[in-house]
Amino acid sequence: MASKTLFASIVGKLLPRANARNEAGGPAYARTPRHRLAQLAATGTLNHTFYADAQSQLDNALLTALDVDPAFVAKAAIYARQKGHMKDMPALLVALLSTLQTDDFSKAFRRVIDNGKMLRSFAQIMRSGAVGRKSLGSRPKRHIANWLEDASDIEIMRAAVGQDPSLADVIKMVHPKPRSKEREALYGYLIGRPYNVAALPQVVQELEVFKRDPSQTPPNVPFQMLTALPLDKEHWAAIGSKAGWQMLRMNLNTFARHGAFDVSWFPCKAAERLRDRKEIERARVFPYQLMAAYAAADEKVPRIVLDALQDAMEIAVSNVPRVKGRVVVCPDVSGSMSSPVTGYRKGATSKIRCIDVAGLVAAAFLRSNRQTRVLPFDFDVVDVRLNARDSVMTNAQKLASIGGGGTNCSAPLRKLVAERAEVDLVILVSDNESWVDARQGGRGTATMERWQELKRRNPDAKLVCIDIQPYATTQAAERDDILNVGGFSDAVFEMVAAFAKGELDAEHWVGEIEKIDL
């Protein structure tokens, strides 16, 4: 029989050497600049997280972007916006490109700055001095002016919602040259200068008529433009009944605060819309969006509406790709996972914590594949029994209610090795800040060592490490059987399924970004 000590030493030599320390001080693997930028672009928050403050994340993003070629920065910004639906980070990368002598800024601008909010974010970043200048510059001004001229009237009206800077501030900064009498009147209307009333777009005229006589049906404009008017609960119910599915989901508290749910017909109408299978499937709604709405809903939102969100969650799980084989999901339930998933933002901190997301991933896979095994961990594996027949929301909340200790990413792998378990796919959902299993003198991380042992019995098994918050290190080095996913969005489910089927390689962040045609 082979010497266990000798074999262990050989396995250790085959492991890649840990070449970094994570934010918690444990051994880890540093990401390459491109992989680090891909992760930051697709998932970075620019907010204070459990281990890193906002300024350090900003500095890390800018320094990393300057360490790769501008074309990749442009592609990363486009990918983050179009695939990851991120806001601040892609706007930051485009702002940085504007300071470089490259045509990639122009190629990325319109594909990233795709709505009024993104336009104002870009202007805010430029004025802040974060990318080294506090003025817009001629190229950015030209692109902003072109955006304003190309936008539809309703896009301009949507862009006019918000401050710091307001759209009026942006218009005054760039001095766009209107191509029509209507647009000239609209600019004047927005910045408080004389304008031709008769030339105003129809939607603006309807808004002004409603301002003079609020007894009429509210016009189809962003509801934020109506909030200063004396709207009653019937008005708010009417606005809610016309709202798109996503707008309704995201503004339940607003409708509750203004009494819309006190209108007898509106709660049932809202619930009916929210659980409408066709609308959910058309919008490709995934579980995370529904968890966010459920967590954010206050006590004024009726029970019938909250139940509809749970019904919608069960329908949305059908959008989670099924993964064949023996799947083990390992959600991190340690203390650091109690931090908000998008970091701490003054006045706007998300109620969704990292642990909620970890619980959601586990519950969603359990729902789509009832043979999935769930192994929560902190210091060690935590014993918890989940019923695959329970709702996704129930199981996610059950997982989120346990734990609170230190982070030991290798714990579930050690358990699987000890059991001589047969597995096809292991999914670790963590912030990757493992420190409990740190030790002096080892070549690789404990996670890599345990994975190597598990592979002896399961040579075709694959490991996915979902790093929920955008730190620069990982516990498992990139290779063909290991996928590191930076951050979390609902697109992660599709990535995991594609990797499990061999349709996505371990360099997916970089590879997918490189495919973008500038």
Q: Could you report the average pLDDT of every consecutive run of 10 residues in the chain (518 residues)?
A: 44 64 73 80 53 63 87 92 81 93 93 93 90 86 95 90 89 93 94 92 90 83 80 91 87 94 96 92 78 88 95 83 89 83 59 82 84 90 85 82 83 96 94 74 81 94 84 78 76 81 70 84
Q: Which residues of 269-294 are buried (b: 16+ CB within 10 A; e: fewer)?
A: bbbebbbbeebbeebebbbbbbbbbb
**CA atoms of 382 and 333, how far apart (whole Å):** 9
pLDDT score recorded for residue 118? 93
pLDDT value, residue 45: 54
Domain boundaries, the chain: 4-28+320-514, 69-221, 230-319
Token pair 């933002």 is found at 345
d(CA 80, CA 85): 6
pLDDT of residue 220: 80
Report the distance separating Cα 484 and Cα 475, nearest Å.
9
Map tokens 């493992």 to a residue. Answer: 434
pLDDT (0 to 100) of residue 50 = 39
**How is domain 4-28+320-514 classified at the architecture level of CATH?**
3-Layer(aba) Sandwich (3.40)
In DSSP terms, 381 is beta-bridged to: 377
Q: Check residue 345 and give its pLDDT.
A: 58
Query: Please, what is the Cα angle at 414 between 412 and 418, to 5 degrees?
Result: 115
pTM for the structure as a whole? 0.73
pLDDT given at position 407? 85
Whole-number pLDDT of residue 97: 95
Return the structure tokens found at 93: 């990368």
What pLDDT is recorded for position 6?
Answer: 41
- What was the pLDDT predicted at 213? 86
